[in-house]
Structure 1
Amino acid sequence: MSRAAALPLAEQPMDVRLMNGVASGVFVLAGAALAAAALMWLVRAPLFTIRGIEIDGDLGRNSVNTIRANAMPRLKGNFFSLDLQQGREAFEAVPWVRNAVVRRVWPDRLAVRLEEHRPAAVWQGEDGNDRLVNTHGELFDANVGDVEDDGLPVFSGPDEEAATVLAMYAKLQPVFKPLDAELSELHLSHRGSWSVELDNGATLELGRGSDDEVLARAARFVRTVPEVTARWRAPLEYADLRHTDGYAVRLRGVTTKTKTTN
């Protein structure tokens, strides 16, 4: 008895080809559904719940337990479903954390590397709330009481100019060294006028202009004011450097205007 040969696909009746096509489609859909179900099970399986967080990097201002307690409630999902961007934001919401790098460690852990803010100054906000300026010139919220013993200078000005104020502070510091005085406060007005307070209590109005112009006025003042204080034998209390032909000073008990030459 001979076996019937299978007809080529093109020679099969239309209804047979249609049934075969439908069957193939059903198999594909069933396979996709099974794969999706398996994926959903994998995503939700307790086996892959985040069970540990390894933290390293800067830990000077926070303990590991504090960081975990602050960040963990913000983490959503398991090993597979956790959004690493949201995880990074959760750790960066912890006080003193400037930057966080979060990565997965198979099968149920996260590894987190932290960079903390390094405070450079206290920022007096116009709303009455003090914040801090880090070494990158960025404002951040933290407990100012944590740095009361750090001897940080005090800055103020428009919030968006924090980096500008920090840069000017770095330029002015060496200028006042010959007076054996440190800048304890630096202020920038909305009109762009600079003023400083020294750690000996003296207040100086530096005025407006480019950085070079402000630094030149300050350097001229530092170079000549010792002669004034020595002449009158009185400590400096206030100086206004905004005059074109010199500066006005107020000594304790004495007021005068001094002309200077470049």
Structure 2
Amino acid sequence: MNDALPAPLDVRVMNMVATILFVCCAVGLLAAGSWWFLRNPAFAIGRIVVHGDLTHTNPMSLRANVAPRLMGNFFTLNLQQAKQEFESVPWIRKAQVRREFPNGLAVEIEEHQARAFWGAESSPTLVNNFGQVFEAEADDDDDSKLPRLVGPEGRSLEMLQMYDQLTPMVKPLESPIDLVALNGRGSWRLQLENGAVIELGSGSTTDVKARLARFVRTVPKVAAQQGRKVDSLESADLRQMDGYALRLRGVTTVSAETAAARAKAAAASAARSTAASRANATGRTTTTTRTPGRNN
């Protein structure tokens, strides 16, 4: 039996070199083909289809705004980065992006639904129906009628929920809520559209609602006692333990000390007037004057 002779060393080296060269060429061709395929202009993003109920934006302006910022083509585009670019546009709350072969994107858009302004009058921020604060320009008549929430950062959802609970409670006051404010000490304040200010005080939501309910129930009778209606309300302070302080348009109120001082002054004046009248009555005399004339 003949044993096969091993190939000479130079032959083995040549075979190895040939194999390596073949593999390198194959990898190079594959890489070049992939590079050409991925960079082919035919796969550049050329179509963006926008879906969703859009009120404050329109698909054309959205595409024009976002398309220049998208990096890559159909195959290399980072969908998460594209999602963030769409969500950075004002009024866009959420975006879902998917590829559509061969060169398109389909984008599902959800807009913010504005419920209130947030912060000071000059602030461009709003609160959506999830209690999230976002920055956008209010451009519709309906948006300009939104209430304003002013409070500490991170409390927007709590304040929106409080607004929703107090809104039906103030209907008997014949003026809707224009502003809800919460200070750093946890004290709540309302301002109605007619300018009336109601200090609700601090405490749990139940406590605040109880104080407002008592006020709304009793203030029409109090106003009627002064010949006024509830729409004459200027301010109310509900932070009292067993009542509230009230100011009505056209009704002048003074402190207890001032009222007592005025009553004392009025009594003293009346006493002086009475004394002067009596003195005049006692010191009065009758004088008869004769007119010269002929004797009868």
Q: Give the TM interval when normalised to the shorter protein.
A: 0.7 to 0.9
Aligned to 2:133: 139
For 1:80 and 1:231, the matched residues in 2 are separated by: 77
Secondary structure of the residue aligned to 2:155 is: helix
Higher strand share: 1
For 2:65 and 2:89, the matched residues in 1 are separated by: 6
Aligned to 2:44: 49
Write the deviation string for residues 195-236 of structure 1: whole angstroms up to 9, x where unpaired.
001123210011111111111111111111111111112321
Aligned to 1:173: 167
Aligned to 1:204: 198
Q: Is it true that 1:129 corresponds to 2:123 in the alignment?
A: yes
Q: Is it true that 1:114 corresponds to 2:128 in the alignment?
A: no
Q: How many residues align?
A: 250
* Structure 1 spans left out of the alignment, 5+ residues: 258-262
For 1:23 and 1:256, the matched residues in 2 are separated by: 108
Aligned to 1:249: 246
Instruction: Tell me the TM-score normalized by structure 1.
Output: 0.85
Q: How does 1:1-262 map to 2 (within 5 A)?
A: 24=19, 27-125=22-120, 128-147=122-141, 150-234=144-228, 235-252=232-249, 253-255=251-253
Q: Which moved more, 1:76-85 or 1:61-70?
A: 61-70
Give the drift of 1:158: 1.8
For 2:4 and 2:31, the matched residues in 1 are separated by: 36
Task: Give the letter for the 1:189 counterpart.
Answer: N
Query: Does the CA contact (< 8 Å) of 1:71 and 1:93 recur in 2?
Result: no
Please tell me the root mean square deviation across aligned C-alpha atoms, in Å. 2.6
Query: Does the CA contact (< 8 Å) of 2:114 and 2:143 recur in 1?
Result: no
Task: Give the letter for the 2:243 counterpart.
Answer: G
Q: 1:77 to 1:149 in 2, by over 3 A?
A: closer
For 1:17 and 1:227, the matched residues in 2 are separated by: 111
Give the drift of 1:79: 0.5
For 1:105 and 1:58, the matched residues in 2 are separated by: 21
Instruction: Tell me the TM-score normalized by structure 2.
Output: 0.76
* Structure 2 spans left out of the alignment, 5+ residues: 256-296
Give percent identity, aligned residues only: 48
For 1:30 and 1:194, the matched residues in 2 are separated by: 76
Give the drift of 1:16: 7.2
Query: Does the CA contact (< 8 Å) of 2:44 and 2:74 recur in 1?
Result: yes
